[in-house]
Amino acid sequence: MATKTSVRLTINHESYDVEVEPRWLLSDVIRHQLGLTGTHVGCEQGVCGACTILVDGKPERSCLMFAVQAEGLDIITVEGLSPDVKRLTPLQESFRDHHALQCGYCTSGMLLTATALLEKDPHPSETTIREALSGNVCRCTGYQFIVDAILAVANGPKEVQE
């Protein structure tokens, strides 16, 4: 049964050819086969949001999808948020400025969800932000600083720091 199939995954605009067993979760293949360990795994039941990735621009759970299903999908992980690895996106900068992370376990999922939200609605209200983030659990920050960081980006373009 453990026969492998090859799939071509498109992650952060790069193509990866990988051999996978059908039962391998996309989250595990992203982490273990591709070494993109920014995608975290907390619960494997869709509840915590740590594994959230963007699929064709929309947040989805990588722990609730098999890697064999991901061929042809445009996937973005936290590593792909900024086009330049040496620079943070304005949202990432804002997370840093607002102390929106402590241990960082939830941060990738938070960033991806918030990025998709701002794409869809560039000026969300605090309620909309909280509703969008309701599927991402953070055990450290108490959420306020995360909401502040997103609101700061929503409320006006921040000059990119040199």
Partner 1 sequence: MKPGAFEYRKATSVKDVVTWLHGDSTSKILAGGQSLVPVMNFRLAHPSLLVDINEITSLRQITCDADHITIGAMVHHQEMVENREVRQYFPLLSVAARHIGHWAVRNRGTVGGSLAHADPASEWPAVMVALQAQIGVEGIDGSRVISAADLFLGYYTTELAADEMMTTIHISHPNHPLGFAEVARRPGDFALAGAIVEDFGDAHGSVTWFGVAGKPERVKVSLPKEAALRAQSFQTALQTLTQLDEDRHRQQLAITVAERAFQHSHLNGQEYFTFEGGQV
Binding site for ligand FAD (CB under 6 A): 46-47
CA distance 116 to 98: 20
Q: Which residue is nearest to ligand FAD (CB)?
A: 46
Tally Cβ neighbours within 10 Å of residue 57: 11
State which residue, 6 or 69, has the beta carbon closest to ligand FES.
69
Report helix, strand or coil for 103: coil
Q: Which of residues 27-46 bind ligand FES (CB under 6 A)?
A: 41-44, 46
Q: Which residues contact 69 (CB under 8 A, 6 or more apart)?
A: 26
Please choose, from the candidates 27, 102, 108, the residue with its C-alpha nearest in 3D space to the C-alpha of residue 70.
27
Is position 49 an interface residue for ligand FES (rule: CB under 6 A)? yes
Is 21 near partner 1 (CB under 8 A)? Answer: yes
Restricted to residues 85-124, the positions that interact with ligand FES (CB under 6 A) are 101-107
Minimal distance in Å, beta carbon 47 to ligand FAD?
A: 4
